[in-house]
């Protein structure tokens, strides 16, 4: 596979039709999904979550049909659905926000407060037990993450965190924020590191998507009990950085 260099011009053929169909499908089906979620707000969380997960599965199929984008997963043996964990994943595109929800156990995602300003789409995220943080107020964001994250972990719900805090370029890993590691430190729940190369095919902020197979690798659990947050972060970031270079 040819690695994409985000610092140079991308000369790959542009798939206007496929990328356009995918763009339309995301917004059209997301509106339907959000409407269904609201109509089922009174039903148990487990049922609402299955609706969200089904939508993610649908989108993964549509990606394959429209732009030829597939995925493969390595390391599923490191996932124990009975042991709630904190997922640390690198962040390169929108793909992982959908793919990881489908691949990994029931989870709560950390989202920025601004997403709640989106009618239907943003509001529906609250029905999936998302952890809402105000990125403009670091202290408040950390407090919300630790409080709500610990609550959900104790309920058996995994927590998905992108420690970089923003999307990085393909083949790039940005410095990790301390929030996720602090949640791990305070709660004592293990961290599951996850790495992928979605940015090679779904470039950040790009309309165009390219055919290929996204590789996802799941690492062994990182023990967090009795460890400093900085040490947890360092181990997770080192693993993700090393494994990304191998994909």
Q: How far apart are CA 179 and CA 161, in angstroms?
A: 9
In Å, how far from its chain's centre is CA 64?
A: 19
pLDDT of residue 156: 98
The pLDDT score that the predictor gives to residue 1 is 39
Closest CA to 191 of 138, 227, 141: 227
pLDDT of residue 194: 98
**What was the pLDDT predicted at 205?**
86
Complete edge-to-edge strand list for the sheet that includes strand 158-161: 69-74, 212-218, 191-196, 86-89, 158-161, 107-112, 131-133
What's the structural domain count of the chain?
Answer: 1
Report pLDDT for 57: 98
List b or e across 12-35, with b for residues whose CB sees 16 or more CB atoms inside 10 angstroms: eeebeebbeebeebbeeebeebbe
| 2 located within any domain | no
- 10-residue averages of pLDDT along the chain (247 residues): 51 93 96 94 95 97 98 98 97 96 97 88 91 92 96 98 95 96 98 98 92 98 97 98 97
- Tell me the whole-structure pTM to 2 decimals: 0.93
Domain region containing 172: 16-246
| pLDDT score, position 8 | 57
Spatial distance between the Cα atoms of 212 and 225, rounded to a whole number of angstroms: 39
* Residue 7 confidence (pLDDT): 47
Widest pairwise Cα distance in the chain: 53
> Residue 55 sits in a domain of what CATH number?
3.40.1130.10
pLDDT score for 10:
80
User: DSSP letters of 17-35?
Assistant: HHHHHHHHHHHHHHHHHHH
């Amino acid at each position: 596979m040819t690695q994409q260099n985000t610092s140079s011009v991308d000369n790959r053929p542009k798939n206007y039709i496929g990328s356009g169909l995918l763009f339309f499908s995301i917004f059209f089906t997301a509106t339907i999904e959000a409407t269904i979620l609201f109509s089922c707000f009174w039903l148990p969380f487990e049922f609402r979550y299955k609706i969200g997960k089904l939508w993610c599965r649908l989108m993964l199929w549509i990606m394959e049909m429209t732009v030829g984008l597939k995925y493969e997963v390595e390391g599923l043996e490191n996932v124990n659905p009975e042991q709630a964990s904190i997922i640390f994943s690198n962040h390169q595109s929108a793909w992982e926000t959908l793919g990881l929800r489908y691949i990994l156990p029931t989870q709560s995602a950390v989202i920025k407060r601004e997403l709640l300003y989106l009618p239907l789409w943003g509001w529906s995220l609250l029905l999936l037990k998302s952890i809402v943080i105000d990125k403009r107020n670091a202290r408040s964001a950390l407090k919300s993450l630790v409080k709500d994250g610990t609550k959900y972990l104790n309920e058996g719900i995994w927590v998905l965190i992108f420690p970089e805090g923003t999307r990085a370029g393909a083949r790039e890993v940005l410095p990790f924020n301390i929030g996720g590691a602090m949640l791990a430190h305070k709660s004592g729940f293990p961290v599951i590191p996850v790495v992928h190369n979605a940015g090679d095919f779904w470039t950040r902020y790009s309309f165009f998507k390219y055919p290929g197979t996204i590789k996802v690798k799941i690492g062994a659990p990182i023990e967090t009990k009795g460890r400093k947050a900085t040490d947890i972060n360092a181990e997770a970031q080192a693993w993700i950085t090393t494994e990304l270079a191998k994909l």
